[in-house]
Structure 1
């Protein structure tokens, strides 16, 4: 099990790159104008995409913090939640023809929470991530 651990802890630059890319994808996918309405049959899929994207974003952000020896998980949750809330506020304020939704924000928070569970497990199992992982 050494090799996967080595890959996981290899480079903070990798996770910063993934964090930047996922930030761009989230901003593009949530703030750029669209000329169509999501059909009702795909509404659940939209929430799943929110959950997965914010889960991935939070995981990358948390791994960057871990590799910089910052192990507390509560700040990771706060930043993820703030990012999700910021997206919804920007959808309301910007003339992008996007509509903010509470369910989108809840999906964002759920993805953030699931990523925190993964980060917590990693903090207990990967020696390079072990520290005072306090919430």
Structure 2
């Protein structure tokens, strides 16, 4: 049941990100904050990566505790690149942006670092 819950939440978030990134930009509210879209991309992929880590940790029964992190990170990066390619091909009000991909990667890296920090703190607390 836990696996299914993590999977559904990760799929839901992925769908939300995909929808928002492919929605015509003219349908979105205009907020004038410098580089706001980069912060949004980083946030989207931060959450995306965390949710997929939770799911892959239930799926990957491997002694290597880093494998779910790596799989989630790579998945996030490729998902972000796919979205940029879809924006280029399927939308008229969006364009592909290499800086968006970098923001996606930054968000995914932050998620991985947060999980590593959490695991380290958890391990230290269990060894006390």
Q: What interval of TM-score do these two structures reach, taking the shorter chain for normalisation?
A: 0.7 to 0.9
- The count of residues paired between Structure 1 and Structure 2 equals 118
Contact 1:55 1:111 in 2 (8 A): yes
Of 38, 45, 54 in structure 2, the residue corresponding to residue 47 of structure 1 is: 38
Question: Hey, what's the Cα distance between the residues in 1 that align with 2:26 and 2:34?
Answer: 16
Cα-to-partner distance string for 1:23-42 (whole Å, 9 max, x where unaligned): 11111110122326886833
Contact 2:22 2:91 in 1 (8 A): no
Question: Hey, what's the Cα distance between the residues in 1 that align with 2:41 and 2:101?
Answer: 8
Aligned CA RMSD, in angstroms, stands at 2.4
TM-score, normalised to structure 2's length?
Answer: 0.78
Cα-to-partner distance string for 1:1-59 (whole Å, 9 max, x where unaligned): xxxxxxxxx92222212211111111111012232688683342221111111100100
Correspondence for 1:7: none
TM-score, normalised to structure 1's length?
Answer: 0.74
Where do 5+ consecutive residues of structure 1 fail to align?
1-9, 128-135
